[in-house]
Structures are given as C-alpha cells and as structure tokens.
C-alpha cells in the first residue's frame, strides 16, 4: 500500500533567533567556554524534572509548538555520537507516560545528529513534541498524522527522501530499542556509501559498533510509540526560489521532517511556499536534504 505524502507547514519565527552554533560564555572565568543550556539546569526557569538516573527534562526555549520539551543527558555527551540504550529507554518512557493520558496523549520524539541534520547544540539531547499541539490550528486535525507512524506496518509513503523504519512496541527494553536503532543506522550508512552525491561523505574512521562512538553520517531519528525511523541527511536545507526566479531564502529542516512537518522562519519563506499551488518549492527542498529513493 502506497500512501500520499501529507505535509504540514508551520511558521516559527522564533527559530530565526536560535543560535546555529554554540554561543560563547561571557564569564570572565571561562571566556572561551561555549554556553551550554543543558549544563546544571536545575535552578533555571526551563527545568521540569530529572529522569533518573541519567537524564533531565527541560522546556525548549525555542519551542515550535506549546509544551515542546527536551530530554538531555545530565553528563555532557556529544550530540554527534551514537545514541545509547539509556537514551532510547528514557525517550520511550516519556512516550509511554503521555500515551497513558489518553487518545490525545501522543509524543513525537526526534534527534538531530551531524552538520547536515539541523542540530544546533553539542550536548546530547532529544526533542519531544506533543502531537495534539502539532495539530493546533489545522482546519481538519484528522487530515494529518505523524509521518513516522505511516512508515511501519507494511505501509509505504511517497517521500522525496529515503528513510529506514522499524516497528517498536511497549515493553521493549532499552537494549532492544537500541538494537533496532543500530540496525537502521547501519542501513543508512550503507545507503550513503553506495551513493556519490555531494554531502554523502562517510567518516570511515568509526564503525558504529560501540556505544558512544562518533556517527559516520548526519541523520535524523524519529520515535513514536510504534515506530523508530532514521533519515540519512546530505544537506541541512536548500534555497527557496520564487516562481519568477527570485531568491527568497534558505529553508533549513531538522528532525521534524520525519513528522511530516516543515518549519519556516521568515514571512517571505512562508508566503512563497503557501502560494505555491503544486508544492514544487517545498518538494524541491525535501528532495535535496536526503538520499533519493533509488539510492
């Protein structure tokens, strides 16, 4: 069964103010130390709670929907290294807790890793979005569902980029989730290795066999209650050109793309994509950020 691609466009001007690289801590004691919003957040206004033994929950200062929050490691671990079993176990615990709230209690979790993924902070963190809040403002909330959910269970969606998906379920251990994650990750690496487009270079010095190793590629990971999906990335975004050939800006995309969501930062981008009746502008960008379907 092949499903049509459902895309949601969201205008998030707050993202225009989000730093794209670590900011310098102005403290005279450490003038060159990058600012780390996830270091000792307990006394800060965004802190929610700790999730023993290894993670904290904090609100996202640059939220794309209400109640957008973050699962960050207590100790510094690089965002560019492979996820570990406790990361996935903690993320699924949050998903399961939301599910127990009822029909609207769904969480979408995503992880950005590597220079082409939309990542902006070096401290390891996964981002969590309540699906009900992602449907706010839609004329028909039933007309859109999270893309990651539609990539498992024998279903195929006509995406402009290649994805690798596996089914997951409640009761899986962190080790079981991690095994699925590594299987999909390795499939993505092999697909990148077989392709020679710009941005598909692979770090051959690491093997993805040991927890904590640097990842060989840029990628996004998405997790829902039923699905774990990886999308290898070869570009963070692409330029947007209007129908009359004018350069409008650059659309950058992160792991929300695996929800079937594109976030735009400026009014010009918003107007150009919304006024494009056949979706050519957005589909052109999506076709450039990952691997083609024949890869």
Cβ–Cβ under 8 Å, residues 101 and 226: no
pLDDT at 23 (0 to 100)? 44
Our CA dihedral for 124, 125, 126, 128, rounded to 10 degrees, sits at 180
pLDDT, mean of residues 56-63: 93
In this prediction, residue 18 carries a pLDDT of: 67
Q: Which pLDDT tens digit goes with each residue over 135-161?
A: 998 888 888 899 999 999 877 788 999
What is the pLDDT, as a whole number, of residue 37? Answer: 82
Q: How far apart are CA 157 and CA 105, in angstroms?
A: 24
For residue 234, is pLDDT > 70? yes
- pLDDT band, residue 289 (cuts 50/70/90): very high
Please state the rounded mean pLDDT for residues 28-55.
Answer: 80
pLDDT tens per residue across span 96-126: 999 888 756 799 999 999 999 999 899 999 9
The pLDDT value recorded for residue 265 is 87
The fold of 2-20+32-289 is: HIT family, subunit A (3.30.428)
pLDDT digits (tens, 9 = 90+) for 2-18: 567 888 888 877 666 66
User: What pLDDT is stored for residue 36 in this prediction?
Assistant: 85
The residues spanned by each domain of the chain are 2-20+32-289
Compute the distance between CA of residue 27 and CA of residue 32 in angstroms, rounded to an integer: 9
To which residue do tokens 């709670």 refer? Answer: 49
pTM, 2 dp: 0.90
Q: Is the per-residue pLDDT at 268 higher than 80?
A: yes
Confidence tier at 220 by pLDDT (50, 70, 90) = very high
User: How many Å apart are CA 70 and CA 47, to the nearest integer?
Assistant: 10
3-state DSSP: the chain helix, strand, coil percent, rounded to 5?
25, 25, 50
- Cβ contact 34:287 at 8 Å: no
Q: What is the pLDDT of residue 257?
A: 96
* Share above pLDDT 90 across residues of the chain, in percent, rounded to a whole number: 56
């Amino acid at each position: 069964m092949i499903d049509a691609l459902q895309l949601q466009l969201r205008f998030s001007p707050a993202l225009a103010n989000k730093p794209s690289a670590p900011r310098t801590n102005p403290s005279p004691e450490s003038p060159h130390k990058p600012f780390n919003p996830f270091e000792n957040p307990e006394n800060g206004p965004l802190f929610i709670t700790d999730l023993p033994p290894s993670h904290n929950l904090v609100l996202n200062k640059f939220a794309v929907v209400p109640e957008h929050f973050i699962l960050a490691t207590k100790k510094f671990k690089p965002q560019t290294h492979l996820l570990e079993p406790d990361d996935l176990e903690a993320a699924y615990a949050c998903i399961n807790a939301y599910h127990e709230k009822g029909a609207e209690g769904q969480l979408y979790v995503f992880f950005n890793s590597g220079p082409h993924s939309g990542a902006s902070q070096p401290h390891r963190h996964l981002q969590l979005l309540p699906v009900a809040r992602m449907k706010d403002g839609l004329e028909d909330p039933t007309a859109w569902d999270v893309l990651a959910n539609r990539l498992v269970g024998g279903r195929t969606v006509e995406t402009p980029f290649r994805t690798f998906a596996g089914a997951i379920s409640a009761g899986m251990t962190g080790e079981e989730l991690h095994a699925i994650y590594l299987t999909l990750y390795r499939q993505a690496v092999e697909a990148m290795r077989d392709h020679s487009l710009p941005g598909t270079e692979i770090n051959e010095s690491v093997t993805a066999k040991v927890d904590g190793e640097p990842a060989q590629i840029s990628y996004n990971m998405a997790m829902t209650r039923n699905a774990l999906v990886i999308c290898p990335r070869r570009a963070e975004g692409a330029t947007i050109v209007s129908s009359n050939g004018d350069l409008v800006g650059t659309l950058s995309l992160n792991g929300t793309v695996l929800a079937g969501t594109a976030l735009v930062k400026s009014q010009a981008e918003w107007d150009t994509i919304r006024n494009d009746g056949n979706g050519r502008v957005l589909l052109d960008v999506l076709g450039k950020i990952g691997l083609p379907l024949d890869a």
